[in-house]
Structure 1
Amino acid sequence: MYYFITVVKHQSFSQAAKVLHISQPSLSNAIKTLEQEMNAPLIERTTRKLQLTDLGQQFYEQATKLLTQFDRMEKEIKELARGENLDIRLGMIESANYWFAQIMLDYQKHYPNNQLTLIDTLYNQTVRQALLSLNVHAVITNQHIVDKEIKSELLYNEPYVVLMRKDHPFVERQTITLADFIDDALIIGMPEFQTSAQILKAFQEEGVIPHIQYKIERFEMIKVLVEEGLGITILPKHYVAQHLSEGLVTRSIQSEYLNRDVYLCTMKDRTFPKSVLKLFELIKAAHTEKA
């Protein structure tokens, strides 16, 4: 099945043989043996382009599911057998870094032998694929993933705030509207990111065209530019609530469109060891207490 799937994915016997580190004749013989077991052809041999028969297409879809389930079972059993000494991998939005550091301290007290690996997850498809491919145990994201195989649990809702220098004219105001951004240089994240897309949509909904001066990938760099006096920015409140330098301040924004939900996303049917479930418990408990 694995050989067959590899041939289909690469659309070539020769390329698949290289990937599998076997000779092309050996691969061809393996596929022929498979077809003999099925008592029917799986690949059309009358066309230049590799093409599946109807049965071959059905076999490919079912085999892919079976091998995915087998890989998942193998990972789960190995993790359950170890219990500890695990490398727990989490996808993480940048704005969650500060509050999650406290979770890590608490978790270490319970399972000091486990490692935590944090990975940036920025795009909707990246989040989904990371979960489905078992590259991560869970993802903390501001994207509400609607998928029959993924569970999204709401952790918290947070507003966006304006970040500026202490000498900025907006400091005298307790509340700022989006219309105030027309003439001021705005520093924003990359438009393809969920956070930036939501901010831009808020301006659109209120009929305001902001003066965008810089588009920056990382929140940390945005803070540096604000501190240098190159403009002001809009960021999630959790991100700027802590470790703010003395030269920067935040103010509320008066807009019904500028708040967001943050979720903990996991695979619905994945079996986790107790040590992983404990981490999820700490994450959810932290925000239940705040609520």
Structure 2
Amino acid sequence: MDLTQLQYFIKVIEEKNFTRAAEQLHISQPSLSISIKKLEEHLQMSLIHRRKPSIQLTREGEIFYNQAKKIITQMNDMEKEMERLRLEGPLELSISMIETAKNWFSEIIKKIKSDSSTIHIQISELLSLSELQNALLNYEIHFAITNHFIDTQELESIFLYEENLVVLLPKNHPLQSEASLTIENLQHLPFILCKEGYQTRIDIIKAFQDASIHPNIQFEIERFETAYHLVESSLGITIVPENYVNAPNHPNVHIKKLESPMLKRNVYLVKNRSRYLPPVIHRSIETICAFHEGDFKF
């Protein structure tokens, strides 16, 4: 079995006709038929139903077709990557990262740069689910650090860690003396919340719904930094990941733990299942996973 046989098989299935496929491949129809037959003999199974009016895959053929497509896609991606490397020089690592990852990602960058000093790293913040999926599927980024769990035919999520969500209160707030808060404490307070399409919004809204409470939403934002400044200006309260704030660096707000066990969020590394990734990108992913598994060595 070789790549040519895979390409011939894929073309036959896509064209649903041996004659059209042979014309596209610039070979004779008998040669194409012989190639597919040899492929089936090598695999010792039928891939195509030949007695039906149009070409249809057997169950084994469907599995083989999907795997063959992945292999050809990876080969094409690898060729493009090698050509890009030849023309443009050192590789780039392009990632999207949530705000709270800034607390640990600098250690990862040090490790990546120590392994490959010439690598150029691009970091962006694609916070909404649609932006993230589009960037991954269009090969704009190699992977993402996000709190969106994505599990599709094209994309997969690797769990990294869990983080608590906390309440931010402005200075001199009536609840500032409380050791911790509940969702009920927040019922009528002016609330600052992420826009539609953000996983943190979904998690917070669900916690309010479970308590049969409607949040008094006054502002909708994209970044936690904006929410922090609004709270600092006494325009409302908000809920953010604990890793985003700590008391010494945020003296102008009160940070309160929530008693609700619902208000946590998971952080994942999301990547494209079938995309060819150069070794340096794979090592970067392994480094991130090792860091959060406690096996990180610098």
Residue of structure 2 aligned with 1:254, choices 259, 268, 291: 259
Q: What one-letter code is carried by the residue in structure 2 that aligns with 1:37?
A: E
Tell me the residue number matched to 1:28: none
Distance change (3 Å), C-alpha of 1:158 and 1:270: same
Q: Tell me how far 1:256 sits from its aligned partner.
A: 2.3
Q: Secondary structure at the match of 1:208?
A: coil
Distance change (3 Å), C-alpha of 1:109 and 1:73: closer
Which residues of structure 1 form unaligned runs of 5+?
Answer: 1-33, 40-54, 56-61
1:100 and 2:105 correspond: yes
CA contact (8 A) 2:194 2:221 kept: yes
Tell me the residue number matched to 1:157: 162
Tell me the residue number matched to 1:75: 80
Q: Secondary structure at the match of 1:134?
A: coil
Residues in 2 aligned to 1:85 and 1:144: alpha-carbon distance in whole angstroms? 31
Deviation per CA, 1:114-145, whole angstroms, max 9, x where unpaired? 11111222233333332232221111111111
Q: Tell me how far 1:258 sits from its aligned partner.
A: 0.9
Residues in 1 aligned to 2:23 and 2:248: alpha-carbon distance in whole angstroms? 64
CA contact (8 A) 1:156 1:263 kept: yes
CA contact (8 A) 1:84 1:275 kept: no
Q: Secondary structure at the match of 1:97?
A: helix
Tell me the residue number matched to 2:36: none
Deviation per CA, 1:58-99, whole angstroms, max 9, x where unpaired? xxxx9xx69955652333434777998211111222332332
Residues in 1 aligned to 2:113 and 2:287: alpha-carbon distance in whole angstroms? 11
Q: Calculate the TM-score normalised by the size of structure 1.
A: 0.70
CA contact (8 A) 2:135 2:141 kept: yes
Tell me the residue number matched to 1:47: none
Residues in 1 aligned to 2:251 and 2:287: alpha-carbon distance in whole angstroms? 31
CA contact (8 A) 2:181 2:256 kept: yes
Tell me the residue number matched to 1:236: 241
- 1:50-89 to structure 2, matched below 5 A, reads 71-78=76-83, 85-89=90-94
CA contact (8 A) 1:185 1:212 kept: yes
Q: Secondary structure at the match of 1:169?
A: coil
Residues in 2 aligned to 1:242 and 1:118: alpha-carbon distance in whole angstroms? 27
Which residues of structure 2 form unaligned runs of 5+?
Answer: 1-19, 26-53, 55-65
1:180 and 2:166 correspond: no
Residues in 1 aligned to 2:21 and 2:289: alpha-carbon distance in whole angstroms? 50
Q: Secondary structure at the match of 2:238?
A: strand
Deviation per CA, 1:18-67, whole angstroms, max 9, x where unpaired? xxxxxxxxxxxxxxxx899359xxxxxxxxxxxxxxx9xxxxxx9xx699
Residues in 2 aligned to 1:173 and 1:290: alpha-carbon distance in whole angstroms? 38
- 1:93-172 to structure 2, matched below 5 A, reads 93-172=98-177
1:220 and 2:225 correspond: yes
Instruction: Please give the root-mean-square deviation of Cα atoms over the aligned residues, in Å.
Output: 3.4
Report how many aligned residue pairs link the two structures: 238
Tell me the residue number matched to 1:272: 277
1:210 and 2:215 correspond: yes
Distance change (3 Å), C-alpha of 1:162 and 1:290: farther
CA contact (8 A) 1:83 1:274 kept: no
Q: Tell me how far 1:242 sits from its aligned partner.
A: 7.9
Deviation per CA, 1:209-245, whole angstroms, max 9, x where unpaired? 1221211222111111111111111001122248732
Q: Tell me how far 1:270 sits from its aligned partner.
A: 3.4
Distance change (3 Å), C-alpha of 1:72 and 1:168: same
CA contact (8 A) 1:155 1:264 kept: yes
Q: What one-letter code is carried by the residue in structure 2 that aligns with 1:169?
A: P
Residues in 2 aligned to 1:182 and 1:211: alpha-carbon distance in whole angstroms? 7
Residue of structure 2 aligned with 1:190, choices 164, 188, 195: 195
Query: Which segments of structure 1 move beyond 6 Å, counting only runs of 4 or more?
Result: 79-84
Q: What one-letter code is carried by the residue in structure 1 that aligns with 2:194?
A: G
Q: Calculate the TM-score normalised by the size of structure 2.
A: 0.69
